[in-house]
Amino acid sequence: MSQQAFSPAVAVARRDAGAPLWLLLTAGAPVLLVALPLAYVATRGAQAGPAVAVAEIFRPRTGELLVNTLLLAISVTALSTLIGVATAWCVERAALPGRRGWRVVCVLPLAVPAFVASFAWASLGPAFQTMGGAILILTLSHYPLVHLPVAAALRGMDPAFEDVARSLGRGGWRAFFEATLPQAAPALGAGALLVLTHMFAEFGALALLRVQTFTTAIFDSYQLEFDGETAALQSAVLLALALPAALLEMRLRRGLRFARSGKGAARRRPPVPLGRATWPALAGFSLLAALALGAPLMMLTYWLAVGSSAGRAIADLWPALGGSLGLALPGALVVTALGAPLALLATRHRGPFASFADKLPYVVHGLPGLVVALALVFFAIRFAPQAYQTAGLLFAAYAALFLPLAQSALRGSLELVPPRFEEVGRSLGRSGLGAFAWIVAPNILPGVGGALALLTLEIVRELTATLMLAPIGVRTLATEVWSHANEGRYAAAAPFAALLVAISAVPVYVFTRRADDLQDDP
């Protein structure tokens, strides 16, 4: 074998060469799948005609939904940003008593799905079934999406910039706003935009809280009024809101960089003493924990303990768990398999199609599950009616919604496998597909395992697409929570909600403790 086969120049040249046909075909399938929601909105809008579309978009009802959607999204994003930045700074930079434990507590609200938290709060009474209640509850559920990236940024950045600011006479607050916050801005922006896209897509929590936004109106138009045209046009308005936020969030998230002066590990800064603010800070953290975790868990415990109808629901608990796992496990395999060619194409080849195929799933990931489900129903009825209300159609929805999770996990592992390994395989007579199967695939098993675990958890918690597309007779934990709580049968919903929280809490706790241990290692 010639030395030239291993040279960096040859490896780069081969990466720049055109992708093999098998890879283009396997990557094309998920690309077409995730493009369906955009094609659906365009097709239905064209079918309605300009006059009907303009009348629907500009009617007073649409204006009310737009105001509600924007009010909710902007308010929750602003409050989540404020809380996320404050908690991240306190646990990473301040001498907060017990901050190792508070690091975990700040992230644990992620273990309580938003619709479960909403069910718990709604069961307290109608006072929380308002726009103000929705803003409060969804903020408590989503502020960790800002806290996590900002905390990571604060851990990774070099405090030398703050030292320079202080040497120039800047006080603590000015040094924070002029030196620290600008370095954390990409992480802060990505987290805030992630919250914003979640608010545009939120359905289950808002339905339980009786707050009308585009997502609940789309569901009502399709499921209750059987008006697919109105649902499609409302989806178009929601897409116009969600797409820019999803694109910007993707760009910021992919461009996260934390500045550091010099080489090696970042120099650690001694924690900032809080002084007189210590007790107010502890009171604030305690109140946050009580509202974000204590109240939902307390209500779940109450309904489990004293609910008169809980016993009847327990008999359905194991079939629902079986339904959740029966969809989540094969669904995770399908999504991972579809994400593999996209990750391989992005890491091994360059070009317009490779870039487009890599980015499109991230765009659709920020869209509401309702739009994805409506698109699949529309095309299935017209072109593949035998697929309607089958598990295969639901797996397609999971792929459209969660492909980026598989791509991210697989891409990280693929980037650790040098392209020259495939060169060796091909030089030994393997085809491109054979080299991938026998050489690359075994080396990316950790990434595959991570993708499967993450996707299984996400699919178990998924509500909207499952609610609309699940085969007749299939029930899951998420759909059982929604169906019982939506009818005011809170005790019946409690066992399903408690099991969902238990399933979600384990990986969230393990992740936060692992991150905490890495932070405290000398």
The answer to whether residue 22 scores a pLDDT higher than 50 is yes
pLDDT-derived band at 345 (thresholds 50, 70, 90) equals confident
Q: Give residues with Cβ within 8 angstroms of 305, minimum separation 6.
A: none
* Region label for 462, one of left (φ > 0), alpha (ψ between -120 and 50) or beta (otherwise): beta
Of 268, 266, 490, 370, the C-alpha closest to 41 is 370
**In terms of pLDDT, which residue wins out, 12 or 334?**
334
Give a yes or no: residue 132 inside a domain.
Answer: yes
**In terms of pLDDT, which residue wins out, 427 or 279?**
279
For residue 49, what is the DSSP state?
Answer: -
Highest mean predicted confidence (pLDDT) among 32-46, 127-141, 190-204, 361-375:
127-141
pLDDT-derived band at 14 (thresholds 50, 70, 90) equals very low
Separation between Cα atoms, residue 327 and residue 333, nearest integer Å: 10
**Mean of the pLDDT values across residues 414-430?**
65
Per-residue pLDDT, 31: 93
Residue 414 identity (one-letter amino acid)? L
Number of structural domains found in the chain? 1
Of 274, 276, 92, the C-alpha closest to 172 is 274
SS3 call for 190: helix
For residue 386, what is the DSSP state?
Answer: G
Separation between Cα atoms, residue 340 and residue 95, nearest integer Å: 44
Q: How far is CA 259 from CA 263, 271, 465, in A?
A: 11, 20, 40
**Mean of the pLDDT values across residues 317-343?**
93
The answer to whether residue 5 scores a pLDDT higher than 50 is no
**In terms of pLDDT, which residue wins out, 154 or 315?**
154
Give a yes or no: residue 161 inside a domain.
Answer: yes
Per-residue pLDDT, 16: 39
**Mean of the pLDDT values across residues 425-442?**
65
Tokens of 56: 């629907």
Per-residue pLDDT, 477: 94
Q: What is the 3-class SS of 159-188, one letter each residue? A: CHHHHHHHHCCCCHHHHHHHHHHHHHHHHH
Per-residue pLDDT, 433: 64
Separation between Cα atoms, residue 461 and residue 109, nearest integer Å: 14
- For residues 368 and 215, the answer to whether their CB atoms sit within 8 Å is yes
**Mean of the pLDDT values across residues 341-365?**
84
The answer to whether residue 2 scores a pLDDT higher than 50 is no
**Mean of the pLDDT values across residues 264-271?**
60
CATH number of domain containing 96: 1.10.3720.10
For 337, counting Cβ atoms within 10 Å of its Cβ (0-12 exposed, 13-18 middle, 19+ buried), the class is middle
For 292, counting Cβ atoms within 10 Å of its Cβ (0-12 exposed, 13-18 middle, 19+ buried), the class is buried
Give a yes or no: residue 141 inside a domain.
Answer: yes
SS3 call for 390: coil
**Mean of the pLDDT values across residues 237-246?**
81
H-type alpha helices, 202-316:
204-208, 214-219, 228-254, 278-289, 295-306, 310-314
In this structure, of 5-9, 29-33, 212-216, 278-282, the range with the lowest mean pLDDT score is: 5-9
SS3 call for 272: strand
Separation between Cα atoms, residue 140 and residue 162, nearest integer Å: 30
User: What is the phi/psi pair of residue 489, to 5°?
Assistant: -95, 75
- For residues 245 and 362, the answer to whether their CB atoms sit within 8 Å is no
Separation between Cα atoms, residue 485 and residue 10, nearest integer Å: 61
Per-residue pLDDT, 6: 40
Question: Quick one: what percent of the chain has pLDDT higher than 90?
Answer: 35
- For residues 443 and 453, the answer to whether their CB atoms sit within 8 Å is no
User: What is the phi/psi pair of residue 209, to 5°?
Assistant: -90, 0
**Mean of the pLDDT values across residues 67-79?**
96
The answer to whether residue 436 scores a pLDDT higher than 70 is no
- Digit-coded pLDDT (tens) for 26-71: 899 999 999 998 898 888 878 777 888 788 778 898 899 999 999 9
Tokens of 464: 């909207």
- For residues 359 and 250, the answer to whether their CB atoms sit within 8 Å is yes
Per-residue pLDDT, 326: 94
Give a yes or no: residue 26 inside a domain.
Answer: no
- For residues 200 and 73, the answer to whether their CB atoms sit within 8 Å is yes
- For residues 208 and 122, the answer to whether their CB atoms sit within 8 Å is yes
Give a yes or no: residue 86 inside a domain.
Answer: yes
Residues in the chain, overall count: 522
Highest mean predicted confidence (pLDDT) among 17-21, 204-208, 425-429:
204-208
Per-residue pLDDT, 186: 79
Domain of 118 in residue numbering reads as 59-259+277-302
SS3 call for 96: coil
Strand partners, 94: 272
Question: Quick one: what percent of the chain has pLDDT higher than 70?
Answer: 78
Average confidence score pLDDT of the chain: 81
Per-residue pLDDT, 10: 40
C-alpha dihedral, 220 to 223 to 226 to 228, nearest 10°: 80
Give a yes or no: residue 455 inside a domain.
Answer: no
**In terms of pLDDT, which residue wins out, 51 or 286?**
286
Per-residue pLDDT, 391: 93
